[in-house]
Amino acid sequence: MNMSAIMGRVLGSGQATLHELQTVYDSEDMLLMDEAAMVWRYNG
């Protein structure tokens, strides 16, 4: 799994900052945010 691409999508969606991804959220949180961003784009 390419975590850089996922991180880029999460950062681009505005759901989290780089600092938050590095300190607050874990990889599962990031995957959930990415899934939410994909749903928003699909429905948008």
**Nearest alpha carbon to residue 13 among 36, 31, 32:** 36
Residue spans of the domains in the chain: they are 3-43
Amino acid at 44: G
pLDDT band, very low/low/confident/very high, at 44 (cuts 50, 70, 90): confident
Task: Tell me the pLDDT tens digit for each residue of 18-33.
Answer: 999 999 999 999 999 9
Distance CA 28, CA 31 (A): 5
- Asked if 29 contacts 37 with a C-beta cutoff of 8 angstroms, the reply is no
Residue with tokens 């961003």: 37
Q: For 32-43, what is the mean pLDDT? A: 94
pLDDT band, very low/low/confident/very high, at 2 (cuts 50, 70, 90): confident
